[in-house]
């Protein structure tokens, strides 16, 4: 199966046309989080949706045989580790979910994000 077919199969957003674009998007989100993300938590949830799309591809059995799979997977794993270093999980109730689906707060964030965390979870930092 071609990458184009995989993107169509999983309805990957049309602004992503390549593995590089997906990887770059996830990287940019991580960089924003590391630089003091300053949007609300709902915007972050939307931004992180790209990681769902990446996961669909990583779990596809036909993609695992693709020439680009291993390189893509390795890049994503490195980015995931960076992201995990930027968050604190606020509950263990969701430990069996993918890490980006769990309830977390960014360790370093801007005022808008901090205010939305306080409104949503009652956490002030």
**Predicted local distance difference test score (pLDDT) of residue 124:** 84
- Mean local confidence (pLDDT), 118-122: 92
- Where b means 16+ CB within 10 Å and e means fewer, 96-125 reads eeeebebebbbeebeeebbebbeeeeeeee
Question: Is the pLDDT reported for residue 1 higher than 90?
Answer: no
3-state secondary structure of 70: helix
**Predicted local distance difference test score (pLDDT) of residue 118:** 94
- Please give the mean pLDDT across all residues of the chain: 94
Residue ranges of domains in the chain: 3-121
The pTM assigned to this predicted structure is: 0.92
Give the other-Cβ count within 10 Å of 39's Cβ: 15
Name the nearest CA neighbour of 88 among 99, 77, 96: 99
pLDDT digits (tens, 9 = 90+) for 14-29: 889 999 999 999 999 9
**Predicted local distance difference test score (pLDDT) of residue 9:** 94
Confidence at 34, pLDDT banded by 50, 70, 90: very high
**Predicted local distance difference test score (pLDDT) of residue 80:** 98
Give the other-Cβ count within 10 Å of 34's Cβ: 15
Confirm if 53 and 13 have CB atoms less than 8 A apart: yes
**Predicted local distance difference test score (pLDDT) of residue 125:** 74
In angstroms, rounded to a whole number, what is the distance separating the alpha carbons of residues 8 and 14?
9
- Token pair recorded at residue 74: 């390795």
């Amino acid at each position: 199966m071609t990458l184009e077919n995989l993107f169509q199969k999983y309805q990957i957003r049309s602004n992503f046309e390549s593995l590089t674009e997906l990887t770059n998007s996830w990287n940019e989100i991580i960089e924003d989080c590391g630089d003091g993300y300053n949007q609300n938590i709902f915007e972050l949830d939307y931004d992180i949706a790209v990681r769902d799309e990446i996961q669909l591809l990583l779990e596809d059995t036909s993609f695992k045989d693709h020439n680009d799979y291993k390189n893509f997977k390795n890049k994503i794993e490195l980015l995931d580790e960076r992201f995990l270093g930027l968050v604190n999980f606020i509950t263990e109730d969701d430990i069996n979910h993918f890490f980006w689906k769990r309830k977390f707060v960014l360790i370093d964030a801007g005022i808008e994000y901090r205010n939305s965390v306080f409104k949503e979870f009652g956490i002030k930092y």
